[in-house]
Amino acid sequence: MTDQFVNGNTVKQANRSFILKDIRQSGPITKIDLARKFDLTFSAVGNIITEFSEAGLIKEAGYGESSGGRPPVLYEMKWDSVYVIALVIGVREISACLVNLKGEVSDEIIAEEDSKPLIERVYNLIDQLLERIAIDISKISGIGVSAPGPIDTTDGKMLTPPNLEGVRNISFQRLLEDRYKWPTILEKDANAFALAEQWFGDVEPNEDILYIYNDQGLGGGLIIDSRIHRGIGNGAGEIGHMVIDIDGPKCNCGNFGCLETLSSGIAIQRRVKEEIRRGYPTSLADDYLNNGKEPTIENIVQQAEEGDKLALEVLHEAERYLGLGLANAINLFAPDQVIFGGMVAKLYPKMINTAEKIAKERALSPYARNIIFAESAFNHQSNSIGAASVIHQKLFDYPEGTII
């Protein structure tokens, strides 16, 4: 009897999830269409629709075509019925904002790097956000956090990110849940951004994707069978720490010749500074040598566009290494899409074209030529949408107990 109850309850939970996801993806839609799609009785669908309506998650949206008799009611999402606090931990800054069920960002606050402990800066940022927002606070369903890896998703801990000095074993999930009383999920940044592409970008539900986050550091996220592929210890997708050159530069992770040391924002800046110190003639030298201003990615890309030889050579070198790394990743995972985000990809989209050409030339499978290479569907807000997506997935997977 108990097993029958558990199994029946589990089926009902699954049906709720299927129906809510389908209203999100296909709405406006009628109850009869949902019943046919999921092979459920009209009564079962009606009960679930009533639950969602009473919880304020969906609304009536007119009428469908009648096949005789009264026309059926159409249902669609109420996008502003639920919000998530999206917290983004970056190398240079942290940000917090609200994100609704449609992936729309509002009330974003950004804090630049300073000397305070990271968790204190996070508390201050979320407190400021809560003071600013105009929505009913009861609409907030959780806090999604994206942060550089490695992380422990089981305990919600940020471990020892190589590009964030002094950050070690911060229990974000416990600390934020204790302070704010909302469910909190911590996710590796590239995984979160990959999830955002699946939920809100130009990715079909059945497509596997490799997300490349090329910013100050370089990371990767994998979506396989509509789920983040984690691997043991949440270590899957770390393309930035794939060794490309065994005699290459030392990485912040302690290894040598990682892709991150050859193609990331930090790597590009380091190479330019090295060549300037060697006396390479470049328009970037004066500010660095005489004014102590380090060349930024923005400066380097701008000078490349104006024909600076050093800037062009360093960027081309980074493109080639990235293409080689992607060829290796394609041989391992054979994704349907490779999607690029982060500052470097945004400022220098030519890198995507070159990396695609090299990766497809070097990958083994003849099907590699069919892989789609694309820039992220989002602008700078991909970070925030990614952080929110980790909560969105939980809400739609398990609507009972979370949003109904």
| Domain ranges for the chain | 2-77, 81-195+382-397, 203-375
The answer for residues whose C-beta is within 8 angstroms of residue 109's C-beta and 6 or more apart is: 95, 96, 97, 125, 128, 129, 132
Question: What was the pLDDT predicted at 5?
Answer: 37
Dihedral sign, Cα of residue 113, residue 118, residue 120, residue 121: positive
DSSP 189-205: HHHHHHHHHHHHSS--T
Question: What was the pLDDT predicted at 154?
Answer: 86
Cβ 160 vs Cβ 168: under 8 Å: yes
What count of other Cβ atoms lies within 10 Å of the Cβ of residue 93?
14
Q: How far is it, in rounded angstroms, from Cα 87 to Cα 400?
A: 24
Residue closest to 59 by CA, chosen among 107, 98, 101, 105: 101
Q: State yes or no: cis peptide before 148, omega within 30 of 0.
A: no
Q: Hey, what CATH class is 81-195+382-397 in?
A: alpha beta
Q: Do domains 81-195+382-397 and 203-375 have the same CATH topology?
A: yes
Question: What was the pLDDT predicted at 8?
Answer: 58
Question: What was the pLDDT predicted at 2?
Answer: 37
> Strand pairing of 337-341 and 209-214?
parallel
Question: What was the pLDDT predicted at 1?
Answer: 34
Query: What is the architecture of the domain spanning 203-375?
Result: 2-Layer Sandwich (3.30)
CATH number of 2-77: 1.10.10.10
Q: How far is it, in rounded angstroms, from Cα 209 to Cα 388?
A: 19
Distances in Å between the Cα of 269 and the Cα atoms of 216, 272, 276, 342 are 9, 5, 11, 15
CA torsion, ordered 339, 345, 349, 354, to nearest 10 deg: -70
The answer for residues whose C-beta is within 8 angstroms of residue 124's C-beta and 6 or more apart is: 111, 116
Give the helix/strand (H/E) hosting 270.
helix 265-277
> Strand pairing of 184-188 and 140-147?
parallel
pLDDT 10s digit of each residue in the chain, 404 long?
334 333 556 888 899 999 999 999 999 999 999 999 999 999 999 999 999 999 999 999 999 888 777 899 999 999 999 999 999 998 888 999 999 999 999 999 999 777 788 999 999 999 999 999 999 999 999 999 999 888 898 889 998 888 787 788 899 999 999 999 999 999 999 999 999 999 999 898 889 999 999 998 999 999 999 899 998 888 899 999 999 999 999 998 899 999 999 999 999 999 999 999 999 999 999 989 988 899 999 999 999 999 999 999 999 999 999 999 999 999 999 999 999 999 999 999 999 999 999 999 999 988 899 999 999 988 778 889 999 999 999 999 988 777 76
Detail the DSSP E strand segments found in 323-379: 337-341, 372-375
